Amino acid sequence: MAVDGGDVVLACGDTSLVAVGVGPGLPVNGDPSLSSFDWRICVLLTQLSCPFSLCRVQDEDIKIAIEDAGFDAEILPQSNSNRLKPQSTLTGQFRIGGMTCAACVNSVEGILRKLPGVKRAVVALATSLGEVEYLPTTISKEGIVDAIEDAGFDAAFVQSSEQDKVLLGVSGIFSDMDLHHLESILGHLKGVRQYRFDRILAQLEVLFDPEILGARSIVDRIGEGSNGKFKVTVKNPYTTMSSNNMEESTNMFRLFTSSLFLSIPVFLIRVVCPRIPLVYSLLLWRCGPFLMGDWLKWALVTLVQFVVGKRFYVAAGRALRNRSTNMDVLVALGTSASYFYSVGALLYGALTGFWSPTYFETSAMLITFVLLGKYLEILAKGKTSDAIKKLVELTPATAVLLIKDAGRKLVEEREIDALLIQPGDTLKVVPGSKVPADGNVVWGSSYVDESMVTGESAPILKEVNSSVIGGTMNLRGALHIQATKVGSNTVLSQIISLVETAQMSKAPVQKFADFVASIFVPTVILLSLLTFFVWYICGALGVYPKEWLPENGNYFVFALMFSISVVVIACPCALGLATPTAVMVATGVGANNGVLIKGGDALERAQKVMFVVFDKTGTLTQGRATVTTAKVFSWMDRGDFLTLVASAEASSEHPLARAIVEYAQHFHFLDESSTSNDAEKQIKGSKFSGWLLDVFGFSAIPGKGVQCFIDGKRILVGNRKLLSESGVTIPIEAENFVVELEESAKTGILVAQNDTLIGVLGVSDPLKREAAVVVEGLIKMGVRPVMVTGDNWRTARAVAKEVGIQDVRAEVLPAGKADVIRSFQKDGSIVAMVGDGINDSPALAAADVGMAIGAGTDIAIEAADYVLMRNNLEDVITAIDLSRKTFSRIRLNYVFAMAYNLISIPVAAGVFFPLFGIRLPPWVAGACMALSSVSVVCSSLLLRRYRKPRLTTILEITVE
């Protein structure tokens, strides 16, 4: 509805109040989300009885109320643009703190999946991140954060898939007056839908309409409206995550050093001081019911146990509240048993005069070693995400914006934050600086290093109309580029998104770790209790001699120490970290080598690949088809024949069609009789230069060719199948010529006018130089290569013979490629498909592992599990080899984690004590547990040393 040219907005909340604002930018009911409307009238409707959160009020009632207030009102028909569109789901990332093992991950995932409006939730232990797909109309990101925090974990929102939201840091707001001034600026800003300012963090979150304004406009208007008082910066979510990781490691290091500082005196009192007579005499001085040494140990260890070690009690309580158990439960049980036994021993001695030995140092050293292990683990896990950090660092922090007037004359050069670049901006890129966004060159010429995306070390010449990629390095001349893709749409951002998604995903093998984690801690506690009762009962029954007992010890203490060692040496973390850390490192290594992996499940399947199915055109071949010969089989002039064929093919997007048009252009304008500059300019200036004939009724027939009408005559351009189905007879002379072309690995294109064949074109698409070597390398690796193509059988066999492929499937329509994939999958074989075009996307989706050549189409890349960014077939071998190496590392991690627990728990329980006298004090067991998870992460980090395999090594070629 509009009143006097303005918009009327109705809002109804729990107070059953409907309000319509008047005046630009004034908030309604304190709701800033309504401040973007240009209101002309205000109506307050009260005493509405509405049990729901949204009241339906008739338009006529509102019109009458407005007229009663003395204003004119008119009900306007609602346009399609104003209709509310159903809200789609959003994908948000949340930082989750306090998770220690796979049991915590399972607990958080279970909580999130039960929330209304949450469609999917995945939590990664290695990154401490959760990815949640949710309906914003049902639950907000604040609601998700609250749910995680209610479960006892720390949570913070990181970023979401919303394209119309920006997070700004605002300095200069010191009072409520400043805040009202900021709200007034935003309220008057057309296109702002909603905003929220956090005074504690000094962060402003703005939801805006990207069709009306951009992030830079918001920043500029805030600065101008405050006369420079408010300083506004854009918050980069990746920078925020890095600072959070740094903060976490700093906090853990502080806890560790505090515990170590308090534990060292306890250790010295127990071990060193008895050998120093003067100091020992002071410790034996009785102060009240206890010795001075006991008082000191109790005071120091109490600080360690309940101040430094508070996090273990909090985390253990959180886990038990969520009906799960984790590593913190084990640490809290083990240290508490040692601490409270020691306190009980002191009190018992004070009451009875019988003094048993205390084990305060066990509790303190346990916590110290566990904190050391957690600190090292955080540092090691930080290394696993180095790939994303390096990718983020490729984008420059700032850009030089060129501001021009209406006459396209340069007015000003302005340095802006790279996050504020908007589509259409003209940017200046000087030599030695990085390209700030994806775009096209509008002025200048230079060489650009695109190795970070393509892997090609040779610089690429960029001239006017050339495309450039954000993050690449400009080497020589200055360039002016026009930004076409910014933010999450850039190539680099999409690469980062793919790597992030892969690191968040779970490999199927991780289900084993999740199952073990769910039963691990209860099983260890039962084993600990069993250890205690076995040793205690056997001692009481005299099964073992008293000489085994420590000095002044008893059977209870002897059994308790074994029991505590069992609790603290068991480590569920090592199992939980075995898979995700290896997957994280592998996806990062793959990205650095030009292989983007979309998830842990794809990584797991690729290591079992038995067949690799290659598309021919653009995959095994270079995709740059050229016409090598043209033969006319009629009275028609060669030039007229080529004009006719080019006219028919000009409307087709097929690579062969483009090759035919280019050949005809070359014949007409660049032959020996006509090589003038004017002709060259004519070709460059217009796509077809006005020489093509008018075409009617054009239609492309998939897998066969094209059909159209020129001068009232039907023209067919395609393969034998097209002509035979159309009733055209192919003369023997033409058939022999086509066969000759096909046997030389060329494609024969037949041309018919009405019902008569008039000529044949021979088209060649050169093989990629590495194709034959890659095929041989796959065979050496035990993988069977297959070629599938829509081309004819003779050409397909000739190409396959040239590259060394035995299994060929030819004359396959696009839909049939997926059927070929399924035929190999029938016996359970894992099949990979390598393709680049739209027609390959069904096969890429049907394959167990789809590999899209990076230079291919967006649809093919979307359907694939692997993206080979460098358009190099050698990366097929890299992808398979990396997946094999990764899962070898994962298996090694699992073997180590399982073997550690299977061996260490019996040793801690004292199984070998009667035979060999081997015994692990609890603090030694704690040190072993702390280092076990660190060793698993470090094992995964060894994947960072991965080097792509040399083909000379695979093929066993000796280079002299």
Distance CA 499, CA 592 (A): 11
Quote the tokens at residue 510. Answer: 């991780």
Q: Phi/psi zone of residue 542: left (φ > 0), alpha (ψ -120 to 50 degrees), beta?
A: left
Quote the tokens at residue 263. Answer: 């534990």
Distance CA 725, CA 712 (A): 20
Name 413's bridge partners: 402
Distance CA 576, CA 557 (A): 33
Distance CA 583, CA 887 (A): 9
Q: Which are the contacts of 233, defined by CB distance < 8 A and separation ≥ 6?
A: 168, 169, 417
| CA distances for 59 relative to 67, 73, 76, 78, 89, angstroms | 12, 11, 10, 11, 31
Are 624 and 871 in contact, with CB atoms under 8 Å apart?
no
Q: How many residues does the structure list for the chain? A: 960
Quote the tokens at residue 537. Answer: 């009962």
Distance CA 384, CA 581 (A): 7
Q: Which are the contacts of 773, defined by CB distance < 8 A and separation ≥ 6?
A: 951, 955
The helix or strand, by DSSP H or E, that contains position 698, with its residue range, turns out to be strand 696-701
Distance CA 592, CA 605 (A): 21
Produce one character per residue of 33-71: b if its CB has 16 or more CB atoms within 10 Å, e if not: bbbbbebbbbbebeeeebeeeebeeeeeebbebbeeeee
The helix or strand, by DSSP H or E, that contains position 403, with its residue range, turns out to be strand 398-404
Distance CA 58, CA 76 (A): 13
Distance CA 469, CA 448 (A): 9
Distance CA 357, CA 551 (A): 8
Could you give the dihedral angle defined by the CA atoms of residues 697, 701, 704 and 709, in that order, rounded to the nearest 10 degrees?
Answer: 0
Q: Is 615 a catalytic residue?
A: yes
Name 291's bridge partners: 286
Are 536 and 555 in contact, with CB atoms under 8 Å apart?
yes
Quote the tokens at residue 764. Answer: 């060649």
Could you give the dihedral angle defined by the CA atoms of residues 489, 491, 492 and 496, in that order, rounded to the nearest 10 degrees?
Answer: 70
Produce one character per residue of 155-172: b if its CB has 16 or more CB atoms within 10 Å, e if not: bebbbbeeebbbbbebee
Distance CA 950, CA 881 (A): 11
Quote the tokens at residue 439. Answer: 């775009």
Residue matched to tokens 């930082």: 95
627 burial via Cβ count (<10 Å: 0-12, 13-18, 19+): buried
DSSP state of 69: T
| CA distances for 230 relative to 33, 178, 295, 312, 399, angstroms | 21, 9, 56, 43, 22
Q: Considering 328, 615, 791, 836, which one is annotated as catalytic? A: 615
Q: How crowded is the C-beta side of 308, counted as CA atoms within 13 Å?
A: 30
Are 193 and 208 in contact, with CB atoms under 8 Å apart?
yes
DSSP helix/strand/coil, 821 = helix
Please give the positions annotated as active site: 615
